[in-house]
Structure 1
């Protein structure tokens, strides 16, 4: 059986954010793939059954499917979600955690906190 290296899917409509997170994760030895929209990510996720990131780092406010919609559509897949958002609202944070979010960080975020959250989510995924 082929062992695929765990990777993180980064979903954010801001290119600079995607690039920064990808670079940060690479520096921590974590592979990643980036997506501009939730719809783009969901198309890949839903059309290729073997495409399974170890974790998804997800913006909340994006055109098309927003972060909460992506989380809803991932429900039952076992893929942990870490939200990264510039718009921290208590009700949205509570909804994200109530639906199983593995983390919730506000932009600008602390690099070490993101790396720890991703590693914890990947470890959580490895246990399933």
Structure 2
């Protein structure tokens, strides 16, 4: 039996951003688990084989393993990646999109744009 609700992993070292995204996604029926570092997220992926989010929302700039490295390690796992960042560098944007990210949003981002991007990444119909 499959999961009851679609699930996103939110990886951002700013706890307030993680909480805000979690609330936003829950408002449209998407569960979210928040990780405050790339290392914590990767540790969970490796230690809990059944953990497989339907989408991963990654900040680029984090202490330890940054979002670019997490995205690289997720390559080939079939998990859509959406990048959120306050760091807007056209070269980085091209790099993450070329590496397969399905979205790239600058902070502060519009909540409805994030929801639509996540729904598209998960193959869900958009919220009316």
Same fold (TM over 0.5): yes
2:52 counterpart residue number:
52
CA drift at 1:89 = 0.5
Structure 1: 5+ residue runs without aligned partners?
Answer: none
Q: CA RMSD in A?
A: 1.0
- Return the alpha-carbon distance in structure 2 between the equivalents of residues 6 and 52 of structure 1: 10
CA drift at 1:29 = 1.2
CA drift at 1:66 = 0.4
Aligned with 2:18: secondary structure? helix
* Cα-to-partner distance string for 1:101-124 (whole Å, 9 max, x where unaligned): 010000000111000000011118
Equivalent residues in 2 for 1:1-128, closer than 5 Å: 2-4=1-3, 5-123=5-123
Aligned with 1:100: secondary structure? coil
Give the alignment's TM-score, normalised by structure 2.
Answer: 0.93
- Return the alpha-carbon distance in structure 2 between the equivalents of residues 120 and 49 of structure 1: 25
CA drift at 1:46 = 1.6
- Return the alpha-carbon distance in structure 1 between the equivalents of residues 24 and 73 of structure 2: 27
- Structure with the higher helix share, 1 or 2: 1
- Return the alpha-carbon distance in structure 2 between the equivalents of residues 6 and 109 of structure 1: 22
Deviation beyond 4 Å, 4+ runs, structure 1: none
* Cα-to-partner distance string for 1:4-33 (whole Å, 9 max, x where unaligned): 132000000001100100010011111110
Give the alignment's TM-score, normalised by structure 1.
Answer: 0.93
CA drift at 1:49 = 1.8
